[in-house]
Amino acid sequence: MLILAGLGNPGPTYSKNRHNLGFMALDAIANRWGVSPWRSKFQGLVCEAGIKTADGVVRAALIKPQTFYNESGRAIGEMMRFFKSTPAEVIVFHDEIDLAPGRFRMKRGGGAAGNNGVRSTTAQIGDDFRRARIGAGHPGDKALVHGYVLSDFHKADKVWLDPLIEALVDALPFAAVGDDERYQAEVLRLAPSAKADPRKAAQQGD
């Protein structure tokens, strides 16, 4: 079973935060590909999807952990063990401050790079899962990161945010069949954005 997990914090207070990019992606995927309503299970909100690919339909289980961001791995691990999936069958969608706003990268394995949700997931299932890293930008100062990721997107961000979320959904069939390189390329083709250094961009905006 393919598992698609989004990182974020539960509740309306956090729903528009930069840290909830993973939830935003999962909601959009469920709207397009979902075949069941969201329900509570595995310490999260879950639903099922049928992703149409060139070779048929790939079944996927979607989960938005309700354990809060830093403990996301508990819910993801529980779902993975239930379906007897492997880490390579898990794609975690999350915000990435080390990518400029609107940029996107797929990565398999590696460290957490300071992301506590990724660290929690690694602690539960190992590091061989696939990461869908969604660029949120950097505030330019490490001391400002916590407040930055827990702040809402601005209206001006919709210029890149809406097309990026749509591209993540449109190109998903490539990821569903395991072609992460093609998935990344297609997302960036559908929602092109500047390859700016997120720290420099933040500093120039001050």
Count of CB atoms within 10 A of residue 141's CB? 12
Rounded Cα distance, 14 and 68, in Å = 10
Task: Give the distance from CA 175 to its chain's centroid.
Answer: 13
Active site residue 19: yes
**Residue 193: per-residue pLDDT:** 84
Q: What is the CA radius of gyration of the chain?
A: 16
SS (H, E, C) the chain: CEEEEECCCCCCCCCCEHHHHHHHHHHHHHHHHECCCCEEECCEEEEEEEEEECCEEEEEEEEEECCCHHHHHHHHHHHHHHHCCCHHHEEEEEEECCCCCCCEEEEECCCCCCCHHHHHHHHHHCCCCEEEEEECCCCCCHHHHHHHHCCECCHHHHHHHHHHHHHHHHCHHHHHCCCHHHHHHHHHHHCCCCCCCHHHHHHHHC
Rounded Cα distance, 6 and 91, in Å = 8
- Would you say the C-alpha torsion 35, 37, 39, 43 has a positive or negative sign? positive
pLDDT tens per residue across span 25-46: 999 999 999 999 999 999 999 9
Average pLDDT over residues 72-90: 97
pLDDT category at 194 given cuts 50, 70, 90 is confident
**Residue 198: per-residue pLDDT:** 59
Torsion angle of C-alpha atoms 58, 95, 12, 119, degrees rounded to 10: 90
Rounded Cα distance, 139 and 44, in Å = 30
Is it the case that residue 85 has pLDDT exceeding 80?
A: yes
The lowest-confidence range among 86-90, 111-115, 200-204 is 200-204
**Residue 206: per-residue pLDDT:** 41
Catalytic residue among 19, 94, 138, 146: 19
pTM check: above 0.85: yes
Ordered domains of the chain (ranges, CATH) = 2-205 (3.40.50.1470)
